[in-house]
Structure 1
Amino acid sequence: MKRKPESDKHGMNSQYMRREVFCCETCDELKSFWEKEISKQTFYRELEEDRQGRSALRKLREEWKQRLEKRLRMLDNPDNEGKHANPEN
């Protein structure tokens, strides 16, 4: 089995790279290391949630959902069929 060249490893997103800890002198160092890692991941997650919150995609999905629900209500209610010849307007 061939190993990937070192240059391929650097092309990966750094937050997903495998972390190797060979040894720590004290438990405090190990605890500190993982607290920093957790803090970084929390920061990245919050950034992503913020980015998604600002995205127009969520708003567009909600608008289409409302349009489809309105159309289904119109199709389910035959009494209003004559009033609304074109449900898209």
Structure 2
Amino acid sequence: GMNHQYARREVFCRNSCHELKCFWEREIGKQTYYRESEEHRLGRSALRRLREEWKQRLETKLRLRNSPDETEKQANVG
């Protein structure tokens, strides 16, 4: 009778709620993964740019130190 129908509907609802929850957890997981990998990628490129700047700065410093005429000029100014 009535009780049987009600019980079946409850089971169905619980199952579909579970599936919906699983679906959303998967979706959120995907979104989170994409966002984190994107942030990671952006962070890496920023880091690379920073490293390049440092390398150039270091090379410039070394070049200045290694060329005596530049050092002379600086000494005269100072």
User: Shorter-chain TM-score: what band?
Assistant: 0.3 to 0.5
Report the TM-score when normalising by structure 2: 0.42
Q: Larger relative CO (CA 8 A, sep 6+): 1 or 2?
A: 1
